[in-house]
Chain A
Amino acid sequence: MSAMLNASGIIKNFPGVQALRDVSIEVRPNEVVGLIGENGAGKSTLMRVLAGSYRPDGGSLTLDGEQLRMRSPRDAARHGIGMVFQEQSLVLNLTVAENIYLGEEDRFTRFGLVNWRAMNAAARRQLAKIGIDIDVTARTSELTFAARQMVELAKALTLEEVVERQLLILLDEPTSVLNAADIEVLFARVRSLKSRASFVFVSHRLDEVLAISDRVYTMKDGAVVAKHRAAEVTAPELHEIMVGRGLQAEYYREARQLAPRDTVMVEAKGLGANGAYHGVDLNIRAGEIVGIAGVVGSGREEVTRTIGGFLQHDAGEMRIAGDMVRFASPEPAVRKGIGYVPRERRLEGLVMFLSIAENISLADLSSVMRHGAIDYGKERRLAADWIKRLRIKAPGPDAACRKLSGGNQQKVVLARWMTAGSRILVLDHPTRGLDVGAKEEVYELVRDLSAQGVAILLISDTLEETIGLSHQVLVMRDGEITARFDASPGKKPNQVDLLRAMV
């Protein structure tokens, strides 16, 4: 079968980084192409090139044999290429219909006035076509994430009303905010739409990619390193290619899990906070990693936020390195040597517009002060040192944090707390949104910290990670600790036992 879209030798450079090096892919008619790779492998950049958001620095794009030059997403739309974004791209204060036809109002405009009734009817038809029942006059903010995703898909498909060729729909991690049932619905739609459009599907979850795609491209370091027919490859094989190392072999660095020291760094007795949790007893010793497992609403998030200083406890007592404390804000917690590594790096972890150097020194500026003034040379040397030690991939200490990949941003957060001399770290989903390779680097770092005697409290998305990293696992349910498991190397509890205590 001949290609519909052909990208060959695509090159895209950003300051200090070559994001795409000679990438070639093709998409055939009525086909779903999967695109996988670690964070920073270049998947998103490639998608943006295909969607007209980025102009490539080299290479060529052809569509049905014709040379394609796109200067904007609008140009791409004119050629029948639509994108469903990872970060949802709906304007929440507008209605469903208004979103679907945002930018296309001219089709419903006569004498300068927009005919909303006609627009609503068209939107209703469009949603009916993909078999979805959503009120088109509802405000988008009132919809669930899954419904919004469907609206986005409908919006991308409106292109077929104006473009005289088969559509190419780019799905950039559409499943990251969906639950399993919604993912099935989305996949069913994509399969039924294959007769009318081709798709490029990007996801972190390999099993999903294999389930929906006809062919799969694997990217690594800005290049395509493999292509397979989906039927002829398994998830572990793809993983091997993607990361270039085995999955289970020493994944959590268990051999480096040392016995904790004797000093108790965090001690909680009968801790409770306004109904979120109660009667929590907790001990974390220097060099120990304590994981808390529990479902949403179990109270584990609140316990970590209490230790980080974001939530004040109102019952029981807490001692940090022997001193009785009750934090009203994170600032005294930081002064007590507690570093909080949040799940939302973008919102809470880093000041994205500041450089790596400025972010690292943020929690303890005195480390780079001399005679009461900031010593910029010292600040940069400090940052350069961390970049080397933690293998942070960045052009240099002056690079803005917003330009780094997720894993590298996380390393900067950790570097900051180490600079501030934190003896206690609260890791709140430390590997969320990171790819496998970046996760392993974070695990390596966590082991380093633990070996240096840092006490660590961990909550994580997966039980496997909680069990794999921790010395001790606590299980919480309905605001109480329901079980405690020893998790020494070789004596790790199994997931089923934990689950039994969780629900």
Chain B
Amino acid sequence: MTLIPGRIAAVFGGRRWRSLAPLAVLIVLCVLIAIANPNFIELRNLVRLANSAAVPLTLAMGLTFIILMGSIDLSVEGTLSVSAMVVVLLAANDANGNDYGWWAVLAAVVAGTAMGFVSGLIQTMLRIPSFMATLGMWFIGLGLSVYMLGGSAIRLNDASIRDLALHRFLGLPVAVWVAFGAFLLAAIIQYHTKLGRHILAIGGDEDVAKLSGVNVTRVRITAFALAGFFFGVSGVLAAAQLGQSHAVIGDGRLFAAVTAVVVGGTALTGGEGGVVNTLIGVLIVTVLANGMILLGISPYIQQTVQGLMIIAAVALSLDRVRLRIVK
């Protein structure tokens, strides 16, 4: 059985130079920033970097499967905020008397998974494009969580959950290890399971996959539930990092996740790329953001740069001329 390192080698083995481009971009970016500001490669900054990559990485793992399938999941922020809301309200907090400890974490992850499951059901059963189904779920989730939080910020007082962000293991916050675990899980699912293969097949050619006996409906629903699972985990991490949950906990997360997936080289048309690409993509996005802060660039310009980056990434990732029609 080809193990993950072998698969990584295959991805970057240079069948086409394009598959190497994201890695090259990451390295060049790191070198340039380190030259401009040597503080960049200080251990303290690297830990900060890893910490700020934790939530985007976990989110982007889920999103990668959806984009590989040729669909899109816009419910990232809604699902994340529901999960953060659930964990804060069920664990020890300053708004009610609940104190379910780690059961709250479990409930939050289940809530995220359920949101994804519903998105999958809506898409397949009502035959609504994933774009619309998840756009709806985004606002359903956002409205629900803001309502439950009563419109205010609620503090998370459970010390063991807070430790996800505060406690360190081998010099890195536990949240970083959780994110890395999410990456390994996603890699195993993509490269070593039937589900991963079927997602790739659907992204490649859904009709053919169906004719070959792939249960497309089930794979789609499972993929959305899986994405919801990762979003749920991210919600818990985000709540632990902030020590609270509030209405805007999800703000900007969708953009960051989509950028990471696309910059990593996963094709929006589906069937090409994968979670290893996304790992690189998340690092590019995080390093760039971190570097711009170190270089003292205005936050508004930072946003503009991110916008340019996502367009440039898509422009470079595909042979645009081959696309007959752009919708």
Does A92 sit within 8 A of B, measured CB to CB? yes
Binary flags per residue of A99-131, CB closer than 8 Å to B gives 1, else 0 = 100111110010011111100000000000000
CB distance from A480 to the nearest CB of B (A): 28
Does A449 sit within 8 A of B, measured CB to CB? no
Binary flags per residue of B202-232, CB closer than 8 Å to A gives 1, else 0 = 0111011101111000000000000000000
Does B200 sit within 8 A of A, measured CB to CB? yes
In the complex with contacts A114-B192, A347-B324, A93-B213 CB distance below 8 A: no
Check A89 against B197 for contact (C-beta < 8 Å).
no
CB distance from A338 to the nearest CB of B (A): 21
Check A93 against B272 for contact (C-beta < 8 Å).
yes
Which residues of A153-168 have CB atoms within 8 Å of chain B's CB atoms?
A: 155
CB distance from A418 to the nearest CB of B (A): 27
The residues of B that contact A90 with a CB separation of less than 8 Å are 205, 208
Does B194 sit within 8 A of A, measured CB to CB? yes
Closest to A77 in B: B213
CB distance from B11 to the nearest CB of A (A): 13
Does A247 sit within 8 A of B, measured CB to CB? no
Check B193 against A104 for contact (C-beta < 8 Å).
no
The residues of B that contact A74 with a CB separation of less than 8 Å are 213
Closest to A102 in B: B212
* Number of CB contacts from chain A to chain B under 8 A: 69
User: How far is A103 from B198 in the complex, measured between Cα atoms in Å?
Assistant: 8
Check A93 against B193 for contact (C-beta < 8 Å).
no
User: How far is A113 from B193 in the complex, measured between Cα atoms in Å?
Assistant: 5
CB distance from B205 to the nearest CB of A (A): 5
Does A85 sit within 8 A of B, measured CB to CB? yes
User: Which of A53, A98, A114 counts the most B-chain CB atoms under 10 A from its CB?
Assistant: A114
Check A116 against B194 for contact (C-beta < 8 Å).
no
Check A103 against B213 for contact (C-beta < 8 Å).
yes
Does A352 sit within 8 A of B, measured CB to CB? no
In the complex with contacts A102-B214, A103-B214, A91-B272 CB distance below 8 A: no
Does B2 sit within 8 A of A, measured CB to CB? yes
Check A112 against B193 for contact (C-beta < 8 Å).
yes
The residues of B that contact A347 with a CB separation of less than 8 Å are 324
The residues of B that contact A103 with a CB separation of less than 8 Å are 209, 212-214
Check B213 against A89 for contact (C-beta < 8 Å).
no
Within 8 Å by CB of B200, from A89, A93, A104, lies A93
Check A73 against B211 for contact (C-beta < 8 Å).
yes
Check B211 against A113 for contact (C-beta < 8 Å).
no
User: How far is A85 from B212 in the complex, measured between Cα atoms in Å?
Assistant: 11
In the complex with contacts A91-B209, A114-B192, A116-B2, A102-B324 CB distance below 8 A: no
Check B213 against A104 for contact (C-beta < 8 Å).
yes
Within 8 Å by CB of A102, from B2, B192, B203, B209, lies B209
Check A113 against B205 for contact (C-beta < 8 Å).
no
Check B324 against A113 for contact (C-beta < 8 Å).
no
Check A91 against B213 for contact (C-beta < 8 Å).
no
In the complex with contacts A74-B213, A93-B200, A103-B214, A114-B194 CB distance below 8 A: yes
User: How far is A77 from B210 in the complex, measured between Cα atoms in Å?
Assistant: 13
Closest to A140 in B: B204
Q: Main SS of chain B's interface residues? A: helix
User: How far is A469 from B227 in the complex, measured between Cα atoms in Å?
Assistant: 60
Closest to B2 in A: A116
The residues of B that contact A91 with a CB separation of less than 8 Å are 200-201, 204-205, 208-209, 212, 271
User: How far is A434 from B26 in the complex, measured between Cα atoms in Å?
Assistant: 53
The residues of A that contact B211 with a CB separation of less than 8 Å are 53, 73, 85, 89
Does B95 sit within 8 A of A, measured CB to CB? no
The residues of A that contact B193 with a CB separation of less than 8 Å are 109, 112-114
User: How far is A249 from B211 in the complex, measured between Cα atoms in Å?
Assistant: 43
Binary flags per residue of A347-381, CB closer than 8 Å to B gives 1, else 0 = 10000000000000000000000000000000000
The residues of B that contact A53 with a CB separation of less than 8 Å are 211
CB distance from A394 to the nearest CB of B (A): 25
Check B213 against A73 for contact (C-beta < 8 Å).
yes
Does A94 sit within 8 A of B, measured CB to CB? yes
CB distance from A55 to the nearest CB of B (A): 16
CB distance from B77 to the nearest CB of A (A): 30
The residues of A that contact B170 with a CB separation of less than 8 Å are none
The residues of A that contact B201 with a CB separation of less than 8 Å are 91, 94, 98, 102
User: How far is A114 from B2 in the complex, measured between Cα atoms in Å?
Assistant: 10
Which residues of B250-282 have CB atoms within 8 Å of chain A's CB atoms?
A: 271-272
User: How far is A74 from B210 in the complex, measured between Cα atoms in Å?
Assistant: 9
The residues of A that contact B41 with a CB separation of less than 8 Å are none
User: How far is A114 from B198 in the complex, measured between Cα atoms in Å?
Assistant: 12
Does B1 sit within 8 A of A, measured CB to CB? yes
The residues of B that contact A116 with a CB separation of less than 8 Å are 1-2, 192
Check A94 against B204 for contact (C-beta < 8 Å).
yes
Closest to B10 in A: A137
User: How far is A85 from B205 in the complex, measured between Cα atoms in Å?
Assistant: 14
The residues of A that contact B197 with a CB separation of less than 8 Å are 94, 98, 102, 105, 114
The residues of B that contact A115 with a CB separation of less than 8 Å are 1
User: How far is A94 from B191 in the complex, measured between Cα atoms in Å?
Assistant: 12
User: Which of B204, B212, B214 counts the most A-chain CB atoms under 10 A from its CB?
Assistant: B212
Closest to B192 in A: A113
The residues of B that contact A77 with a CB separation of less than 8 Å are 213
The residues of A that contact B272 with a CB separation of less than 8 Å are 93
CB distance from A227 to the nearest CB of B (A): 29
Closest to B188 in A: A113
CB distance from B104 to the nearest CB of A (A): 28
User: How far is A38 from B1 in the complex, measured between Cα atoms in Å?
Assistant: 49
CB distance from B2 to the nearest CB of A (A): 6
User: How far is A53 from B204 in the complex, measured between Cα atoms in Å?
Assistant: 21
Closest to B267 in A: A93
The residues of B that contact A98 with a CB separation of less than 8 Å are 197, 201
The residues of B that contact A104 with a CB separation of less than 8 Å are 213
Closest to B194 in A: A105
Which residues of A62-98 have CB atoms within 8 Å of chain B's CB atoms?
A: 73-74, 77, 85, 89-94, 98
Binary flags per residue of B176-205, CB closer than 8 Å to A gives 1, else 0 = 000000000000100011100110110111
Within 8 Å by CB of B204, from A92, A109, A113, lies A92
Within 8 Å by CB of A117, from B1, B200, B208, B214, lies B1
CB distance from B29 to the nearest CB of A (A): 29
CB distance from A143 to the nearest CB of B (A): 14
User: How far is A85 from B192 in the complex, measured between Cα atoms in Å?
Assistant: 29
11 contacts between A and B (CB under 8 A): A53-B211, A73-B213, A89-B207, A89-B212, A90-B208, A91-B200, A91-B201, A94-B201, A102-B197, A109-B194, A155-B212
7 additional contacts, CB 8 Å, given A53-B211, A94-B201? A89-B207, A90-B208, A91-B208, A102-B214, A103-B213, A106-B194, A117-B1
Give B contacts to A, CB under 8 Å.
1-2, 188, 192-194, 197-198, 200-201, 203-205, 207-209, 211-214, 271-272, 324
Give A contacts to B, CB under 8 Å.
53, 73-74, 77, 85, 89-94, 98-99, 102-106, 109, 112-117, 155, 347
Please provide the 8 A-B residue pairs with the shortest distance between their CB atoms, ordered closest to farther. A103-B213, A93-B204, A91-B204, A105-B194, A102-B212, A93-B271, A103-B212, A74-B213
